[in-house]
Structure 1
Amino acid sequence: MVKEQFKEYRGDLHKWYKRCVSNEEAVQSASPHVIDEDWWILCDRFSSDSFQKMSKINSDNRKKLEVNHVAGSKSFVRLRHDMRDSITSQEPGPVDLYRGTHCRQAMGSWVHPRASENWATIETLRS
Protein backbone atom coordinates (compact mmCIF):
# COMPACT_ATOMS: atom_id res chain seq x y z
CA MET A 1 0.00 0.00 0.00
CA VAL A 2 2.86 2.36 0.83
CA LYS A 3 4.53 1.53 -2.49
CA GLU A 4 1.32 2.41 -4.35
CA GLN A 5 0.96 5.69 -2.46
CA PHE A 6 4.57 6.62 -3.23
CA LYS A 7 4.06 5.82 -6.91
CA GLU A 8 0.99 8.09 -7.02
CA TYR A 9 2.87 10.83 -5.13
CA ARG A 10 5.78 10.65 -7.57
CA GLY A 11 3.35 10.77 -10.50
CA ASP A 12 1.59 13.80 -9.03
CA LEU A 13 4.93 15.60 -8.68
CA HIS A 14 5.77 14.85 -12.31
CA LYS A 15 2.35 16.16 -13.41
CA TRP A 16 3.04 19.34 -11.45
CA TYR A 17 6.40 19.65 -13.22
CA LYS A 18 4.88 19.07 -16.68
CA ARG A 19 2.38 21.93 -16.19
CA CYS A 20 5.29 24.37 -16.53
CA VAL A 21 6.59 25.52 -19.91
CA SER A 22 10.29 25.32 -19.05
CA ASN A 23 12.55 23.80 -16.43
CA GLU A 24 13.37 27.27 -15.08
CA GLU A 25 9.66 27.99 -14.56
CA ALA A 26 9.22 24.62 -12.87
CA VAL A 27 12.08 25.32 -10.46
CA GLN A 28 10.42 28.61 -9.48
CA SER A 29 6.95 27.09 -8.97
CA ALA A 30 7.70 24.29 -6.52
CA SER A 31 5.00 21.85 -5.55
CA PRO A 32 3.54 22.62 -2.12
CA HIS A 33 4.00 18.95 -1.19
CA VAL A 34 7.80 18.95 -1.21
CA ILE A 35 10.55 21.17 0.23
CA ASP A 36 12.38 23.47 -2.20
CA GLU A 37 15.73 21.65 -2.11
CA ASP A 38 14.07 18.33 -2.95
CA TRP A 39 12.00 20.00 -5.66
CA TRP A 40 15.14 21.34 -7.34
CA ILE A 41 16.64 17.85 -7.35
CA LEU A 42 13.44 16.47 -8.89
CA CYS A 43 13.43 19.20 -11.54
CA ASP A 44 17.01 18.30 -12.47
CA ARG A 45 15.98 14.65 -12.75
CA PHE A 46 12.85 15.37 -14.79
CA SER A 47 14.81 17.57 -17.20
CA SER A 48 17.78 15.20 -17.60
CA ASP A 49 18.42 13.61 -21.00
CA SER A 50 18.26 10.09 -19.58
CA PHE A 51 14.84 10.72 -17.98
CA GLN A 52 13.51 12.37 -21.14
CA LYS A 53 14.76 9.48 -23.27
CA MET A 54 13.22 6.88 -20.94
CA SER A 55 9.96 8.82 -20.84
CA LYS A 56 9.81 9.03 -24.65
CA ILE A 57 10.49 5.29 -25.04
CA ASN A 58 7.80 4.41 -22.47
CA SER A 59 5.30 6.76 -24.10
CA ASP A 60 5.95 5.27 -27.55
CA ASN A 61 5.57 1.74 -26.18
CA ARG A 62 2.23 2.58 -24.54
CA LYS A 63 0.98 3.99 -27.86
CA LYS A 64 1.82 0.69 -29.60
CA LEU A 65 -0.17 -1.33 -27.10
CA GLU A 66 -3.27 -2.70 -28.81
CA VAL A 67 -4.94 -4.37 -25.83
CA ASN A 68 -4.83 -3.16 -22.25
CA HIS A 69 -5.28 -5.44 -19.27
CA VAL A 70 -7.34 -5.14 -16.11
CA ALA A 71 -4.53 -6.02 -13.71
CA GLY A 72 -3.48 -2.47 -12.90
CA SER A 73 0.07 -2.15 -11.67
CA LYS A 74 0.24 -5.69 -10.28
CA SER A 75 2.94 -7.80 -11.88
CA PHE A 76 1.90 -10.87 -13.83
CA VAL A 77 3.99 -13.01 -11.49
CA ARG A 78 1.97 -11.76 -8.53
CA LEU A 79 -1.27 -12.28 -10.46
CA ARG A 80 -0.31 -15.88 -11.20
CA HIS A 81 0.37 -16.37 -7.51
CA ASP A 82 -2.98 -14.80 -6.56
CA MET A 83 -4.86 -16.86 -9.17
CA ARG A 84 -3.46 -20.21 -8.06
CA ASP A 85 -5.82 -23.03 -7.11
CA SER A 86 -6.63 -22.91 -3.40
CA ILE A 87 -6.60 -26.70 -3.04
CA THR A 88 -3.65 -27.78 -5.19
CA SER A 89 -1.70 -24.47 -5.09
CA GLN A 90 -1.16 -24.89 -8.84
CA GLU A 91 -0.69 -21.61 -10.70
CA PRO A 92 -2.71 -20.91 -13.85
CA GLY A 93 -1.18 -21.52 -17.24
CA PRO A 94 -0.60 -18.78 -19.81
CA VAL A 95 -4.07 -19.22 -21.33
CA ASP A 96 -5.90 -18.85 -18.02
CA LEU A 97 -3.65 -15.94 -17.06
CA TYR A 98 -4.57 -14.16 -20.31
CA ARG A 99 -8.28 -14.57 -19.59
CA GLY A 100 -7.84 -13.39 -16.01
CA THR A 101 -5.98 -10.25 -17.05
CA HIS A 102 -7.97 -9.27 -20.15
CA CYS A 103 -11.54 -10.11 -19.16
CA ARG A 104 -13.54 -8.15 -16.61
CA GLN A 105 -14.59 -10.92 -14.25
CA ALA A 106 -17.54 -9.09 -12.69
CA MET A 107 -19.08 -8.15 -16.03
CA GLY A 108 -17.77 -11.07 -18.10
CA SER A 109 -16.72 -8.70 -20.89
CA TRP A 110 -13.39 -8.33 -22.62
CA VAL A 111 -11.43 -5.10 -22.19
CA HIS A 112 -11.11 -4.70 -25.96
CA PRO A 113 -12.56 -6.45 -29.03
CA ARG A 114 -9.01 -7.43 -29.99
CA ALA A 115 -8.68 -9.29 -26.65
CA SER A 116 -11.76 -11.31 -27.57
CA GLU A 117 -10.25 -12.12 -30.98
CA ASN A 118 -6.98 -13.17 -29.32
CA TRP A 119 -8.91 -15.42 -26.94
CA ALA A 120 -10.76 -17.05 -29.84
CA THR A 121 -7.44 -17.70 -31.59
CA ILE A 122 -5.97 -19.12 -28.40
CA GLU A 123 -8.95 -21.44 -27.94
CA THR A 124 -8.70 -22.59 -31.57
CA LEU A 125 -5.02 -23.37 -31.18
CA ARG A 126 -5.62 -25.04 -27.84
CA SER A 127 -8.28 -27.38 -29.18
Structure 2
Amino acid sequence: MRRAVNYSLSMRFKNFKHHCHEHYQKLGADSARQTPHENIKMDDWLRLCDHFESPQFKRQSTANKRSKSMQTYAHTTGGKLCSQRMYEMEKAKHAATHPEEENSSDQPSDVVEQEEPKEMKVYAATHKRTDGSWVDVQPQHNYEMQRMYVEALEKGNRLFGAEILAMVLNKAPTYINKQNPTSVKEKELEERLENSLPEGEKQRQEF
Protein backbone atom coordinates (compact mmCIF):
# COMPACT_ATOMS: atom_id res chain seq x y z
CA MET A 1 0.00 0.00 0.00
CA ARG A 2 2.76 2.43 0.96
CA ARG A 3 4.64 1.64 -2.25
CA ALA A 4 1.55 2.32 -4.36
CA VAL A 5 0.96 5.65 -2.61
CA ASN A 6 4.61 6.67 -3.02
CA TYR A 7 4.52 5.76 -6.71
CA SER A 8 1.31 7.75 -7.25
CA LEU A 9 2.76 10.80 -5.49
CA SER A 10 6.04 10.59 -7.41
CA MET A 11 4.17 10.44 -10.73
CA ARG A 12 2.03 13.44 -9.77
CA PHE A 13 5.15 15.41 -8.85
CA LYS A 14 6.85 14.36 -12.07
CA ASN A 15 3.88 15.58 -14.13
CA PHE A 16 3.71 18.83 -12.17
CA LYS A 17 7.42 19.42 -12.68
CA HIS A 18 7.00 18.78 -16.40
CA HIS A 19 4.23 21.39 -16.63
CA CYS A 20 6.39 23.84 -14.70
CA HIS A 21 9.25 23.32 -17.13
CA GLU A 22 6.92 23.88 -20.08
CA HIS A 23 5.79 27.14 -18.45
CA TYR A 24 9.42 28.14 -17.90
CA GLN A 25 10.38 27.42 -21.52
CA LYS A 26 7.34 29.21 -22.92
CA LEU A 27 8.13 32.47 -21.12
CA GLY A 28 11.91 32.35 -21.29
CA ALA A 29 14.35 32.48 -18.39
CA ASP A 30 14.05 36.18 -17.48
CA SER A 31 10.28 36.51 -17.81
CA ALA A 32 9.61 33.12 -16.24
CA ARG A 33 11.35 34.11 -13.01
CA GLN A 34 8.89 36.96 -12.61
CA THR A 35 5.84 34.85 -13.47
CA PRO A 36 5.64 31.68 -11.40
CA HIS A 37 3.52 28.73 -12.39
CA GLU A 38 0.12 28.63 -10.72
CA ASN A 39 -0.19 27.01 -7.29
CA ILE A 40 3.48 27.46 -6.43
CA LYS A 41 5.11 29.97 -4.07
CA MET A 42 7.64 32.43 -5.46
CA ASP A 43 10.51 31.06 -3.35
CA ASP A 44 9.81 27.51 -4.50
CA TRP A 45 9.44 28.69 -8.09
CA LEU A 46 12.80 30.46 -8.07
CA ARG A 47 14.49 27.34 -6.72
CA LEU A 48 12.84 25.36 -9.49
CA CYS A 49 14.08 27.88 -12.06
CA ASP A 50 17.60 27.45 -10.67
CA HIS A 51 17.16 23.72 -11.15
CA PHE A 52 16.06 24.18 -14.77
CA GLU A 53 19.12 26.35 -15.42
CA SER A 54 21.61 23.99 -13.80
CA PRO A 55 24.17 22.28 -16.10
CA GLN A 56 23.12 18.85 -14.83
CA PHE A 57 19.46 19.38 -15.77
CA LYS A 58 20.38 20.79 -19.17
CA ARG A 59 22.62 17.80 -19.93
CA GLN A 60 19.88 15.38 -18.92
CA SER A 61 17.27 17.28 -20.92
CA THR A 62 19.48 17.25 -24.02
CA ALA A 63 20.13 13.52 -23.62
CA ASN A 64 16.41 12.82 -23.26
CA LYS A 65 15.58 14.80 -26.39
CA ARG A 66 18.29 13.01 -28.36
CA SER A 67 17.05 9.62 -27.17
CA LYS A 68 13.45 10.48 -28.03
CA SER A 69 14.41 11.65 -31.52
CA MET A 70 15.97 8.23 -32.19
CA GLN A 71 12.75 6.35 -31.42
CA THR A 72 11.17 4.85 -34.52
CA TYR A 73 7.79 4.35 -32.84
CA ALA A 74 6.04 5.16 -29.58
CA HIS A 75 6.06 3.18 -26.35
CA THR A 76 4.43 3.56 -22.95
CA THR A 77 7.37 3.27 -20.54
CA GLY A 78 8.18 6.98 -20.35
CA GLY A 79 11.65 7.36 -18.86
CA LYS A 80 11.59 3.98 -17.15
CA LEU A 81 14.07 1.32 -18.29
CA CYS A 82 12.63 -1.87 -19.78
CA SER A 83 14.70 -3.85 -17.28
CA GLN A 84 12.88 -2.07 -14.44
CA ARG A 85 9.53 -2.75 -16.10
CA MET A 86 10.48 -6.42 -16.46
CA TYR A 87 11.41 -6.61 -12.78
CA GLU A 88 8.12 -5.04 -11.74
CA MET A 89 6.12 -7.42 -13.94
CA GLU A 90 7.94 -10.46 -12.57
CA LYS A 91 7.39 -9.26 -9.01
CA ALA A 92 3.70 -8.61 -9.64
CA LYS A 93 3.31 -12.05 -11.20
CA HIS A 94 4.99 -13.70 -8.21
CA ALA A 95 2.79 -11.77 -5.78
CA ALA A 96 -0.33 -12.82 -7.69
CA THR A 97 0.60 -16.51 -7.76
CA HIS A 98 2.03 -16.57 -4.21
CA PRO A 99 -0.07 -14.06 -2.23
CA GLU A 100 1.13 -15.40 1.09
CA GLU A 101 4.06 -17.52 -0.08
CA GLU A 102 2.00 -20.56 0.93
CA ASN A 103 3.36 -23.97 0.00
CA SER A 104 5.81 -22.37 -2.42
CA SER A 105 8.61 -24.72 -1.34
CA ASP A 106 6.75 -27.55 0.42
CA GLN A 107 4.55 -28.53 -2.50
CA PRO A 108 6.26 -27.93 -5.82
CA SER A 109 3.93 -28.06 -8.77
CA ASP A 110 4.16 -31.00 -11.16
CA VAL A 111 2.67 -28.92 -13.96
CA VAL A 112 5.03 -26.73 -15.94
CA GLU A 113 3.16 -24.17 -17.97
CA GLN A 114 4.64 -23.10 -21.27
CA GLU A 115 4.82 -19.33 -21.29
CA GLU A 116 6.10 -16.85 -23.79
CA PRO A 117 9.53 -15.38 -22.95
CA LYS A 118 9.32 -12.58 -20.41
CA GLU A 119 11.16 -10.27 -22.79
CA MET A 120 8.22 -10.54 -25.20
CA LYS A 121 5.75 -9.88 -22.39
CA VAL A 122 7.63 -6.71 -21.51
CA TYR A 123 7.72 -5.65 -25.17
CA ALA A 124 3.94 -6.03 -25.39
CA ALA A 125 3.35 -4.27 -22.07
CA THR A 126 5.53 -1.30 -23.03
CA HIS A 127 3.96 -0.82 -26.47
CA LYS A 128 0.27 -1.12 -25.59
CA ARG A 129 -2.16 1.43 -24.24
CA THR A 130 -4.16 0.90 -21.07
CA ASP A 131 -7.07 -0.39 -23.16
CA GLY A 132 -4.85 -3.12 -24.64
CA SER A 133 -4.49 -1.58 -28.10
CA TRP A 134 -1.06 -1.17 -29.71
CA VAL A 135 0.42 2.33 -29.83
CA ASP A 136 1.60 1.72 -33.38
CA VAL A 137 1.30 -0.89 -36.14
CA GLN A 138 5.05 -1.53 -36.33
CA PRO A 139 5.45 -2.73 -32.71
CA GLN A 140 2.48 -5.03 -33.22
CA HIS A 141 4.11 -6.54 -36.32
CA ASN A 142 7.42 -6.94 -34.48
CA TYR A 143 5.70 -8.73 -31.60
CA GLU A 144 3.72 -11.04 -33.89
CA MET A 145 6.87 -11.98 -35.81
CA GLN A 146 8.78 -12.74 -32.61
CA ARG A 147 5.89 -14.74 -31.17
CA MET A 148 5.53 -16.89 -34.30
CA TYR A 149 9.26 -17.49 -34.48
CA VAL A 150 9.51 -18.57 -30.84
CA GLU A 151 6.44 -20.82 -31.08
CA ALA A 152 7.88 -22.52 -34.15
CA LEU A 153 11.17 -23.19 -32.36
CA GLU A 154 9.35 -24.62 -29.35
CA LYS A 155 7.57 -27.08 -31.63
CA GLY A 156 10.85 -28.12 -33.22
CA ASN A 157 10.15 -26.26 -36.45
CA ARG A 158 11.62 -23.19 -38.01
CA LEU A 159 9.76 -20.44 -39.79
CA PHE A 160 11.66 -18.42 -42.34
CA GLY A 161 11.34 -14.69 -42.83
CA ALA A 162 9.01 -14.87 -45.82
CA GLU A 163 6.64 -17.23 -44.00
CA ILE A 164 6.47 -14.99 -40.94
CA LEU A 165 5.94 -11.86 -43.01
CA ALA A 166 3.19 -13.63 -44.94
CA MET A 167 1.32 -14.52 -41.75
CA VAL A 168 1.80 -11.15 -40.07
CA LEU A 169 0.81 -9.13 -43.13
CA ASN A 170 -1.91 -11.61 -44.19
CA LYS A 171 -0.27 -12.01 -47.58
CA ALA A 172 0.51 -15.13 -49.55
CA PRO A 173 4.18 -16.25 -49.45
CA THR A 174 4.34 -15.77 -53.22
CA TYR A 175 3.43 -12.10 -52.73
CA ILE A 176 6.30 -11.66 -50.28
CA ASN A 177 8.73 -13.37 -52.63
CA LYS A 178 7.62 -11.20 -55.55
CA GLN A 179 8.11 -8.08 -53.50
CA ASN A 180 11.54 -9.28 -52.40
CA PRO A 181 13.15 -11.45 -55.10
CA THR A 182 16.63 -11.14 -53.60
CA SER A 183 15.36 -12.21 -50.14
CA VAL A 184 17.67 -9.65 -48.50
CA LYS A 185 14.90 -8.41 -46.19
CA GLU A 186 14.06 -11.98 -45.29
CA LYS A 187 17.63 -12.63 -44.16
CA GLU A 188 17.70 -9.39 -42.23
CA LEU A 189 14.43 -10.33 -40.54
CA GLU A 190 15.73 -13.75 -39.53
CA GLU A 191 18.91 -12.22 -38.09
CA ARG A 192 16.89 -9.61 -36.19
CA LEU A 193 14.57 -12.24 -34.78
CA GLU A 194 17.43 -14.50 -33.72
CA ASN A 195 19.24 -11.61 -32.05
CA SER A 196 16.09 -10.68 -30.13
CA LEU A 197 15.54 -14.18 -28.77
CA PRO A 198 16.19 -14.83 -25.07
CA GLU A 199 19.46 -16.69 -24.45
CA GLY A 200 17.64 -19.90 -23.52
CA GLU A 201 15.80 -19.97 -26.84
CA LYS A 202 19.05 -19.44 -28.75
CA GLN A 203 20.69 -22.38 -27.00
CA ARG A 204 17.65 -24.57 -27.67
CA GLN A 205 17.84 -23.66 -31.36
CA GLU A 206 21.52 -24.61 -31.53
CA PHE A 207 20.79 -28.07 -30.09
* TM-score in terms of structure 1 length: 0.75
The answer as to whether partners of 1:102 and 1:110 remain within 8 angstroms in 2 is yes
RMSD (CA atoms):
3.1
* 1:1-127 mapped onto 2 (5 Å cutoff): 1-21=8-28, 23-70=29-76, 75-76=84-85, 77-83=87-93, 86-87=96-97, 93-104=118-129, 106=131, 109-126=133-150, 127=152
SS at match of 1:110: coil
Aligned length: 125
> Which aligned runs of 4 or more in structure 1 are off by greater than 6 angstroms?
88-92
Query: What residue ranges of structure 2 are gaps of 5+ in the alignment?
Result: 1-7, 100-112, 153-207
Give the CA deviation at 1:103. Answer: 3.7
Which whole-Å CA distance do the structure 1 matches of 2:64 and 2:12 have between them?
21
Q: Deviations over 1:65-117 (max 9, x none)?
A: 1232345677512233335584468997112222233245745x422121122
Matched residue SS, 1:19? helix
Flag the structure with more relative contact order, 1 or 2, with Cα contacts below 8 A and sequence separation at least 6. 1
* Runs of 5+ consecutive residues of structure 1 not aligned to the other structure: none
Q: Secondary structure at the match of 2:27?
A: coil
Deviates more, 1:84-93 or 1:114-123: 84-93
Task: Read off the aligned partner of 2:16 and give its amino acid letter.
Answer: Y
TM-score where L is the length of structure 2 = 0.50
